[in-house]
A = this chain, B = another copy of it.
Amino acid sequence: MTTVIDAALVAEHNAKLASDLKADYEALGGMLARRGVDIEELTSLAQTFAVAVPSWGVGTGGTRFARFPGRGEPRNVFEKLDDCGVINQLTKATPTVSLHFPWDRPSDARELREAASALGLGFDAVNSNTFQDQAGQEQTYKFGSLTANSREVRAQAIAHNIDCIELGKSLGSQSLTVWVGDGANFPGQSNLRGALERYLESMREIYAALPDDWTVMIEHKLFEPAFYATTIADWGTSFACAQALGPKAKCLVDLGHHAPNTNIEMIVARLAQFGKLGGFHFNDSKYGDDDLDSGSINPFQLFLVFNELADAAQRDGAGFKPSYMLDQSHNVTDPVESLMSSAVEVQRAFVQAALVDRAALAGFQESNDVLQAAQTLKQAYRTDVSAILAMARVRAGGAADPVRCYRASGYRDRVAAARPPKAGASGSGIV
C-alpha cells in the first residue's frame, strides 16, 4: 500500500508524543476503572469506527458571495484521492471515499479503483448531481430535475442517476445518494403535490435500476437552493418516499438540513425505529446548511445523535448499519486538516456514546429519576476520551496528533507546488 506521507515521519511524530500519550492514557484508564469501565474495550471499539470522506470536501468551499481558493487544491479525482489518502493514513478512521458525478467521472474505472486501492481506500456511496447544468448538457435543471414539469428534463436526470449506479458498480460502491435541490422560490411556482408525484415516478425508475444489494438514500433539506418550498424538505417526506419506493430505499440525515430548533436525534430514533435510517452526512451548523466542521458548534448534539445510534445498535444488532460520511464546506481552513479533525470529532462522539451506562440509564428512566438519567448521559459526554482516540490511531498506524503530523510533513507545500491554481477556477465542486 502506498502511503502519501512518509511512514517514518509518522513514526517519529508518534515517538515524540508517546510518553505523554501513555501517561494520559493511563490517567484516563484509572479514572474509567474507578467508574467500572475498561479503557481497552473502548480503545478497541474506537478502532472499529469509520466515516467516509467526500471527494469534493478536499477542495476549498465558498458561498454565493465568494470563494477564496486555498493552496494546492486538487485538480482531478486522482489528486482528490491523494488528499483522502493522507486523511485516512493519519486518522485511520476514513477508509472510504464518496464520489460525485460527473465531477469525479473517471475515464477508466479500473484505473481509479486501483489508485484508490493502492492508497488503502475504497468507495462509499456515489452521488448524482442534477442541481447544476454541465457544459454540453441538453436540458437545463433551472426549473427542476427529477420533479421537473418537462418529461425530457426528468428523463435526463433519471438517466444520469442510472449512469451513476453503473459507475458505482464498476467502482465497488453499494449505494447511491440522491439529493435534489428541486423546489420553488415563489408560492405558485410549483404544484407542491404534483412535484412530489413526479419525484416518486422518477425515483421508481432509478430504484428499478438498483442492484439487489444496493441502497438508494434519499437526502432531504429544508431550503437552499430553493427558498420557498423544497420538494424533499423534511424527514417526513423522505420517509414517506422511502416507504413508497421499497426496502432498498432509505433516508439520509444531514445534520444541517433541518428547521431551526429541530431535535435531530429524535429524527434518528424515528428512522431507526421504522427501519429507514440509511446514513448520515456529518457537519455542524448554527443557521442553515452551514456545512461547518463536525462538532465545532454543538458537540453535545453530535453526542446525542450517537447516543441514539448506540441505542439502536443495542436493539437491532448487526443488522443496524447506517453509513457515515462527512459533508462539509471548508472555506477558511485547510480541507485536509478540517476533515481529519472532523473525523476525530465524530469518532469522539461514537466513543463517548459507548461510555453511557445503558442499564443504569434505563433504570433511571423507568423510575422517573430524571436528574440522574440526564447526568448519566452528561457523565459519558464529559469524559475526555482524547487519549483513547490517539491511542487507537497510534495502534493502527496513524498519527497521535494528525494535524501536527500533517503540518510537519510539508504535504500542503508539496501539493501547492505541484498543483498550480486553475485560472479563475471555482471548479472544485460545490462552493
A272 within 8 A of B: yes
Cβ–Cβ contact A366 & B149, under 8 A? yes
- Contact indicator per residue, chain A 61-73, by CB within 8 Å of chain B (1) or not (0): 1111110100000
Which one of A65, A260, A366, A371 has the greatest number of beta carbons of chain B within 10 Å?
A371
**Chain B CB within 8 A of A418 CB:** no
Stoichiometry (number of copies): 4
Query: Which B residue sits closest to A288, measured CB to CB?
Result: B288
**CB of A133 within 8 A of chain B?**
yes
Q: List 16 A-B contacts (CB under 8 A).
A: A65-B131, A65-B224, A66-B131, A143-B370, A186-B292, A186-B293, A192-B266, A193-B269, A193-B315, A225-B331, A234-B235, A236-B270, A288-B288, A332-B368, A334-B371, A341-B375
**Which residues of B have CB within 8 Å of A384?**
382-384
B24 touches A189 (CB 8 A): no
Contact A63 B64 (CB under 8 A): yes
Task: Choose from B23, B263, B382 the contact partner of A386 (Cβ within 8 Å).
Answer: B382
- Return the chain B residue nearest A149 by Cβ: B366
Listed in ascending order, the chain A residues whose CB lies under 8 Å from chain B are: 20, 23-24, 27-28, 30-31, 34, 61-66, 68, 131-133, 140-143, 149, 181, 184-194, 196-197, 222-225, 227-230, 233-237, 239-240, 243, 258-263, 265-267, 269-270, 272-274, 285-288, 290-293, 296-301, 304, 307-308, 311-312, 315, 331-334, 337-338, 341, 361-362, 364-366, 368, 370-378, 381-384, 386, 403, 424, 426, 430-431
- A263 to B184 alpha-carbon distance, docked (Å): 12
Give A368's nearest chain B residue, CB to CB.
Answer: B143
**A373 lies within 8 A of B188 (CB):** yes
Do B193 and A312 touch (CB < 8 A)?
A: yes
Q: Which residue of B lies closest to A308 (CB)?
A: B192
A189 touching B431, Cβ below 8 Å: no
Once the chains bind, are A188 and B376 in contact (CB under 8 Å)?
A: yes
Contact of A222 among B64, B233, B261, B368 (CB under 8 A): B261
Q: How far is it, in angstroms, between the C-alpha of A267 and the C-alpha of B236 when the chains are bound?
A: 9
Contact A298 B296 (CB under 8 A): no
Give, as a whole number of angstroms, the nearest-CB distance from A208 to chain B: 22
